[in-house]
């Protein structure tokens, strides 16, 4: 059985992490697939049919067999270092989202260090290309189509911003290039220019995430349904009518009702029995 890859979305506050997921969710709602996507405490489950709907005919070229993608939206505010770190350690792949017009900011650099520490593979989404002076906005279009419709001045401005990012990332120890110029993704970090607000380039980003997950993470995504479940706890809270609940992401094996579980807390080790398994309601 192949599980969904866990994709954490990291970056500085207001650089577009939530906007990107809002665009993906909004596209699903518009295409009457809202029941297929669920969101909970910063987790968004995106079925592969929704990815296919956003990517269109290009999707078929990759032969993707994943059941979907699970995105973890980590807070960008400086107060949430621990949550970002947890998201970075949990994820199979990460999207580092940056404002192409602002460059690397404090939480961007912190996110880069988290990814370095956990050796988490990642791609970069260079967001807000629509704010480049004189940019010709073509909503929901691929980056290749968008760039072909820009004048030479805009192309030059975009090239300069991309070169600046390449230089800054090189200082951080990473060799980056545009996603469509890379022949070996094991040696370079892919950069995808996007606009989360208008959807430009988002299909390229989703295809890249799904394609890289399938090609390089297939063994990691294989789970044995007979193995005991392993989870990461995102949140512990009391729910009215339910009592104490754990919000978790299952990354290996299977958990079932009435299973015994063991987890660590601030006061030591806890052992309890699963009374119920609840999935988030669809949006």
Same domain, 12 and 149: yes
Same domain, 160 and 238: no
Same domain, 177 and 254: no
| Residue 278 covered by a domain | no
Same domain, 240 and 134: no
CA–CA distance from 263 to each of 57, 84, 121, 236, 253 (Å)?
Answer: 45, 20, 27, 11, 16
At 147-192, the pLDDT tens digits run 999 999 999 999 999 999 999 999 999 999 999 999 999 999 999 9
Same domain, 60 and 38: yes
Give the number of domains in the chain: 2
Q: Which among 221, 242, 258 is the end of a domain?
A: 221
| Cα–Cα distance measured from residue 209 to residue 95, given in angstroms and rounded to the nearest whole number | 8
| Cα–Cα distance measured from residue 260 to residue 265, given in angstroms and rounded to the nearest whole number | 16
Same domain, 236 and 217: no
Same domain, 149 and 259: no
Structural domain including 168 reads 6-221
At 22-52, the pLDDT tens digits run 898 886 555 544 445 544 556 788 888 889 9
Q: At what angle do helices 48-55 and 17-30 cross, to 10 degrees?
A: 90
Same domain, 252 and 187: no
Task: State pTM to two decimals.
Answer: 0.87
At 127-145, the pLDDT tens digits run 999 999 999 999 999 999 9
Same domain, 127 and 254: no
Q: Which among 221, 238, 259 is the end of a domain?
A: 221
At 83-123, the pLDDT tens digits run 555 655 678 999 999 999 998 988 899 889 888 888 889 99
Chain center to CA of 221 = 16
Spatial CB neighbours of 241, under 8 Å, sequence gap ≥ 6? none
| Residue 281 covered by a domain | no
At 201-260, the pLDDT tens digits run 999 999 999 999 999 998 889 999 899 999 888 788 898 898 989 988 888 999 999 999
Same domain, 203 and 262: no
At 10-21, the pLDDT tens digits run 888 788 888 898
């Amino acid at each position: 059985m192949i599980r969904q890859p866990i994709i954490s979305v990291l970056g500085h506050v207001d650089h577009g992490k939530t906007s990107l997921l809002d665009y993906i969710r909004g596209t699903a709602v518009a295409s009457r697939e809202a029941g297929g996507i669920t969101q909970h405490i910063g987790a968004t489950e995106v079925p592969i049919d929704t990815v296919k709907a956003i990517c269109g005919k290009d999707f078929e070229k990759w032969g993707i067999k994943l059941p979907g993608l699970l995105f973890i939206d980590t807070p960008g505010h400086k107060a949430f270092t621990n949550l970002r770190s947890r998201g970075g350690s949990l994820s199979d792949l990460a999207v580092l989202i940056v404002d192409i017009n602002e460059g690397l900011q404090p939480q961007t650099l912190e996110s880069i260090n988290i990814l370095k520490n956990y050796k988490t593979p990642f791609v970069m989404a260079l967001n807000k290309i629509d704010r480049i002076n004189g940019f010709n906005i073509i909503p929901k279009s691929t980056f290749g189509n968008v760039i072909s419709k820009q004048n030479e001045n805009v192309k030059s401005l975009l090239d300069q911003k991309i070169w600046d990012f390449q230089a800054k990332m090189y200082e951080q120890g990473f060799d980056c290039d545009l996603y469509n110029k890379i022949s070996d993704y094991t040696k370079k970090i892919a950069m995808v220019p996007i606009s989360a607000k208008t959807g430009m380039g988002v299909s390229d980003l989703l295809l890249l995430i799904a394609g890289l997950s399938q090609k390089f993470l297939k063994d990691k995504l294989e789970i044995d349904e007979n193995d005991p479940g392993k989870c990461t706890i995102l949140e512990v809270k009391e729910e009215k009518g339910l009592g104490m609940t754990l919000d978790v992401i299952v990354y290996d094996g299977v958990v079932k009702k009435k299973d015994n579980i063991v987890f660590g807390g601030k006061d030591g080790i806890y052992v309890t029995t699963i009374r119920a398994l609840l999935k988030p309601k669809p949006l």
